[in-house]
């Protein structure tokens, strides 16, 4: 092992064109920073170095231009006992002893042992460019995504979480489309009340809170609700860790939930079977302005249609000869009915593709925005939807859950 100065150590890092690494074990115990991770990224077509600085339970990001990196590294070499970096060819290892001497050794990187396991520079750059169109970008890497295990220590998305990452980004894009309505609501109140029903581990609640507060600077209070108490405890702890003071979670059943204040927006993602109907009914009854629901599996109407197979209008009965077609049809019928019942309650409804079918079969998003009472088309829309709903019901001899919930049964 050679001994090097802090200046020389920093110069070695620059000379070797490092891509990722870290500093750990502070020399002084009272240093507030425990660890610093570094990785090379490309932001707006400009190579930069991103530092993730860990202080207590929080982590901050700082991006540095290449020409400023050496100076930054130099000061960290004074402050930390251990530093390790990788370039495409080498590992660089620096260990500072109690006398302040920095020992340095280097090892060749074997491709299969490389932290990024491939041609690192091109992979890193590709990842950043590929994801930059998302609302939640990996270059920011919000801390809640790290804590929800979306990223490796090197800042790359964990493969198994990639679909979820896309889904929540897609969901945020839909929410972006109602920003004008949300801003309008804020003309009359100090903060927006939002509920995420059937939130589960609450990837979406966290993402939405981050998006609305940090990116759009809107004052919001978000409440996530789920049946599972252990999951709710986990979410409340994570929210505290992230310092998200207006993001709270409650354990309970959607059907029995009482709001402290009526919500402005209710969202749900993959609330199973008729839980989506509970969401829509609760939102309508609480006079919610905006509703987003991405339904999940659907069984209710499938059973009812099969039972009445011989009685439904003749031209439809051949479709019911094939189980898979009946299942898909029942699912589409359910969402059509949800749309029509929302329109009957004065909502402007659109049903959109949530995410491409190859990523999930649960790819329908129902978006409903309540029309103002002075809207000229409202009464016509309501009457038309009521009539259409009546006809569908008669044709398929069905008793949909949402109708019963809205009628208070
Ligand atoms: C498929 S998970 C989706 C979780 C989350 N929204 C997501 O997309 O990652 C459905 C969640 O809805 C919750 N759930 C189902 N019925 C519910 C009800 N009646 N009240 C509250 N939560 C419910 C379940 O506990 C489960 O966590």
pLDDT at 334 over 50: yes
Candidates 198, 234, 235, 270: which one to mutate for ligand 1, based on the most atoms within 8 Å of Cβ?
Answer: 198
Quick one: tokens of 258? 């009482």
For the CA of 198, the nearest atom of ligand 1: 12
pLDDT at 110: 67
Query: Is there a contact between 109 and 90 (Cβ–Cβ < 8 Å)?
Result: yes
Question: For the residues 79-100, what does the mean pLDDT come to?
Answer: 90
Residue 255 CA, closest ligand 1 atom number: 19
Model confidence at 378: pLDDT above 70: yes
Q: Is the pLDDT of residue 381 over 80?
A: yes
What is the mean predicted confidence (pLDDT) over 166-179?
Answer: 94
Centre of ligand 1 to C-alpha 211, Å, is 22
pLDDT of residue 343 exceeding 50:
yes
pLDDT computed for residue 122 by the predictor? 32
Q: Which of 116-120, 159-163, 244-248 has the lowest mean pLDDT?
A: 116-120
User: Are 154 and 146 a contacting pair, CB within 8 Å?
Assistant: no
Residue 174 confidence (pLDDT) above 60: yes
Confidence of residue 45 (pLDDT cuts 50, 70, 90): low
Averaging pLDDT over each range in 131-145, 160-174, 182-196, 350-364, which range is the top one?
A: 182-196
> Is the C-beta atom of 1 inside 6 A of ligand 1?
no
Say how far apart CA 304 and CA 266 lie, in whole Å: 28
Q: Is 229 in the pocket of ligand 1 (CB under 6 A)?
A: no
Q: Tell me: pLDDT of 88 over 90.
A: no
224 lines ligand 1 (CB under 6 A): no
pLDDT at 125: 34
**Greatest mean pLDDT range, 24-33, 257-266, 305-314, 318-327:** 257-266
CA of 198 to the centre of ligand 1 (A): 3
Q: Which atom of ligand 1 is nearest to the CA of 296?
A: 1
Please tell me whether the overall predicted TM-score, pTM, comes out greater than 0.75 for this model: no
Locus of tokens 């998006």: 211
Is 3.40.30.10 the CATH classification of the domain at 167-406?
A: no
Q: What angle do CA 94, 141, 107 make, to 5 degrees?
A: 25
Strand partners, 3: 103
Q: Contact 199/224 with Cβ under 8 angstroms?
A: yes
Residue 130 scores a pLDDT above 50: no
pLDDT at 180: 96
Task: Give me the residue label for tokens 């581990």.
Answer: 201
Q: What is the reported pLDDT for 405?
A: 96
Distant-in-sequence, close-in-space partners of 98: CB < 8 Å, separation ≥ 6: none
- Mean pLDDT across the chain: 87
Residue 290 has pLDDT above 60, yes or no: yes
With a cut of 80, say whether residue 153 has pLDDT above it: no
pLDDT bracket for residue 116 (50, 70, 90): very low
* Contact partners, residue 327, CB within 8 Å, separation at least 6: 302
- pLDDT, average across residues 95-99: 90
Tell me how far the alpha carbon of residue 272 lies from the centroid of ligand 1, in angstroms.
7
Residue 191 pLDDT level (bands cut at 50, 70, 90)? very high
Q: Is the pLDDT of residue 131 over 50?
A: no
Number of alpha carbons in the 13 Å side-chain half-sphere of residue 334 = 30
Res. 57 pLDDT band, cuts 50 70 90: low
Per domain, the residue ranges of the chain are 2-120, 167-406
H or E segment to which residue 381 belongs: helix 378-396
Q: Is 51 in the pocket of ligand 1 (CB under 6 A)?
A: no
The pLDDT assigned to 234 comes to 95
Q: CA–CA separation, 353 vs 364, rounded Å? A: 5
Q: Is 52 helix (H, G, I), strand (E, B) or coil?
A: strand
Contact 79, 23 (CB under 8 A): yes
Mutate which of 200, 222, 273, 299 for ligand 1 pocket (most atoms within 8 A of beta carbon): 200
Which of the four pLDDT bands, split at 50, 70 and 90, describes residue 142?
confident
Mutate to test the pocket of ligand 1, among 170, 172, 226, 266 (most ligand atoms within 8 A of CB): 226
366-392 mean pLDDT: 93
CA distances from 367 to 194, 287, 297, 354, 378 (A): 15, 15, 18, 10, 17
In angstroms, the CA 72 to CA 69 distance is: 5
Q: Please report the pLDDT score of residue 257 as a whole number.
A: 93
Question: Cβ atoms within 10 A of the Cβ of 152, count?
Answer: 13
Most confident range (mean pLDDT) of 124-128, 161-165, 346-350 is 346-350
Atom 11 of ligand 1 has which residue's CA nearest to it?
198
pLDDT tier, 145 (very low <50, low <70, confident <90, very high otherwise): confident
């Amino acid at each position: 092992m050679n001994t090097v100065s802090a200046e020389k150590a920093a110069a070695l890092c620059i000379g070797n064109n490092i891509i990722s690494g870290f500093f750990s074990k502070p020399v002084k115990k009272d240093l507030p920073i425990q660890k610093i991770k570094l990785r090379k990224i490309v932001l707006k077509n400009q190579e930069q170095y991103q530092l993730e600085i860990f202080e207590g339970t929080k982590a901050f990001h700082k991006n540095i231009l290449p020409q400023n990196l050496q100076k930054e590294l130099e000061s960290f070499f004074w402050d930390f006992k251990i530093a390790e970096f990788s370039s495409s060819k080498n590992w660089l290892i620096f260990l500072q002893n109690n006398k302040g001497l920095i020992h340095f050794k280097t090892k060749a990187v074997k491709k299969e042992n490389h932290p990024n396991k491939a041609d690192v520079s091109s992979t890193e750059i590709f990842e950043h460019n590929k994801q930059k169109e998302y609302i939640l970008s990996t270059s920011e890497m919000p801390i809640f995504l790290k804590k929800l295990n979306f990223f490796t220590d090197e800042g790359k998305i964990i493969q198994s979480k990639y679909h979820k990452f896309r889904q929540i980004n897609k969901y945020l894009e839909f929410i972006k489309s109602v920003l004008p309505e949300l801003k309008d609501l804020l003309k009359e109140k100090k903060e927006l009340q939002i509920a995420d029903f059937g939130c589960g581990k609450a990837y979406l609640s966290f993402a939405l809170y981050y998006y609305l507060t940090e990116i759009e600077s809107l004052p919001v209070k978000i409440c996530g609700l789920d049946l599972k108490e252990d999951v709710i405890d986990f979410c409340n702890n994570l929210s505290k860790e992230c310092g998200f003071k207006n993001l709270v979670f409650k354990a309970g059943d959607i059907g029995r939930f009482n709001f402290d204040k009526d919500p402005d927006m209710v969202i749900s993602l993959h609330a199973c079977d008729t839980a989506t109907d509970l969401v829509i009914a609760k939102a309508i009854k609480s006079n919610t302005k905006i509703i987003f629901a991405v339904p999940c599996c659907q069984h209710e109407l499938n059973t009812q249609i099969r039972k009445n197979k011989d009685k439904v209008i003749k031209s439809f009965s051949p479709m019911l000869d094939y189980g898979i077609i009946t299942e898909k049809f029942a699912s589409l019928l359910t969402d059509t009915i949800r749309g029509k019942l929302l329109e009957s309650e004065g909502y402007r409804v659109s049903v959109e593709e949530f995410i491409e079918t190859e990523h999930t079969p649960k790819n329908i998003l129902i978006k409903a925005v309540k029309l103002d009472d002075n809207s000229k088309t409202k009464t016509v829309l309501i009457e038309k939807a009521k009539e259409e709903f009546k006809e569908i019901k008669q044709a398929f001899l069905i008793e949909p859950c949402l109708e019963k919930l809205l009628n208070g049964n």
